């Protein structure tokens, strides 16, 4: 059974499905999304040169009807208008069917439209959502723990000495259609940690030591890149300067990604976690 729900910034939720009281009758815009192709034309050139492309914003339109039931039709209308108030900003549209659930951030382009007067016991309505990020997300956050001690000095030893390091190498499978940003948490004590996506050749390297009880959070999402230091007492502060200049805020490409984590021996009691949500072109 197909079901659509919207949760606003105040955590108020409305559900549209085949069993009412808000009946879903038509849904458009959840599959295809338009692409803007970037081209360049030089003088006397036949055709044009392809430069790249990007996805446009997504528009979702919904048609449905209200059946009052135990609550009056006017109250149902008021609830719909309150939950879909555009002034509340972005909310979450959730799509569910037999294949699972996907979510997308959206804002109501306008208050619900009631195109005509009440038809007997039901009232038709129209809803239009605008999704700045056109990708649907898997609502389940994938979380991976990284950190294990490898190597070390053994006796007797000979020069040159090979000191132990904390390290791990894993393969992550991004099952989505698009690159997925990652949210990384470094929990001290950690010294000289480096987290690299060997599939893309990009790495994130820290130039500061994270003391025990402190942590560093990095978000690599486009338009929302952050580096935040959290002290033992919970105080939060910007820490972009803790990241080496050669670092790149990488994500996971679709398919397999080979991830490498390395740090010095002093970091064997620290921890690193990586979280991500696969992104999809449609449902």
Residue 156: pLDDT over 50: no
Q: State the DSSP string of 164-223.
A: -EEEEEEEEEE-SSB-EEEEEEEESSB-S-EEEETTTTEEEEB-S-B-TT-EEEEE--TT
Q: What tokens appear for 247 in the block?
A: 């670092």
Q: pLDDT band for 221, please (50, 70, 90 cuts).
A: very high
Does residue 272 have a pLDDT over 80? yes
Residue ranges and CATH numbers for the domains of the chain are 3-134 (2.40.30.200), 142-280 (2.60.120)
Neighbours of 187 (CB within 10 A): 19
How confident is the prediction for the chain on average, in pLDDT?
Answer: 88
Residue 43 pLDDT exceeds 60? yes
Identity of the highest mean pLDDT range in 26-30, 32-36, 259-263: 26-30
Q: 3-state DSSP: the chain helix, strand, coil percent, rounded to 5?
A: 5, 50, 45
Give the pLDDT confidence score for residue 119 in this predicted structure.
60
**How does residue 167 score in pLDDT terms, banded at 50, 70 and 90?**
low
Q: Is residue 159 over pLDDT 50?
A: no
Residue 127 has pLDDT above 80, yes or no: yes
Does 264 score more than 80 pLDDT?
no
Paired sense of beta strands 22-28 and 202-205, if any: unpaired
Two tokens, residue 167? 């390290």
Claim: this prediction has a pTM higher than 0.75 = yes
């Amino acid at each position: 059974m197909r079901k659509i729900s919207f949760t606003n910034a105040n955590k108020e939720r409305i559900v549209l499905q085949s069993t009412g009281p808000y009946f879903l009758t038509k849904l458009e815009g959840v599959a295809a999304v338009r692409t803007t192709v970037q081209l360049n034309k030089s003088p006397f050139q036949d055709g044009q040169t392809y430069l790249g492309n990007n996805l446009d914003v997504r528009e979702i339109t919904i048609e449905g009807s209200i059946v009052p039931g135990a609550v009056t039709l006017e109250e149902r209308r008021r609830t719909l208008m309150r939950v879909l108030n555009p002034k509340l900003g972005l909310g979450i549209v959730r799509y569910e069917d037999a294949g699972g659930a996907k979510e997308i951030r959206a804002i109501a382009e306008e208050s619900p439209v009631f195109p005509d007067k009440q038809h007997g016991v039901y009232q038709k309505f129209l809803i239009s959502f605008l999704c700045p990020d056109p990708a649907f997300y898997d609502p389940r956050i994938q979380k991976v723990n990284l950190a294990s001690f490898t190597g070390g000095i053994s006796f007797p030893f000979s020069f040159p000495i090979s000191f132990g390091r904390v390290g791990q190498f894993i393969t992550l499978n991004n099952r989505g259609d698009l690159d997925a940003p990652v949210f990384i948490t470094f929990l001290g004590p950690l010294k000289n940690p480096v987290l690299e996506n060997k599939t893309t050749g990009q790495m994130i390297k820290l130039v500061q030591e994270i003391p025990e009880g402190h942590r560093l959070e990095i978000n690599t999402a486009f338009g929302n890149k952050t580096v935040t230091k959290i002290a033992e007492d919970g105080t939060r502060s910007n820490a972009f300067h803790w990241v080496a200049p050669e670092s790149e805020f990488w994500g996971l490409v679709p398919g397999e990604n080979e991830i490498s984590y390395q740090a010095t021996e002093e970091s064997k009691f620290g921890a690193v976690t990586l979280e991500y949500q696969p992104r999809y072109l449609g449902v």
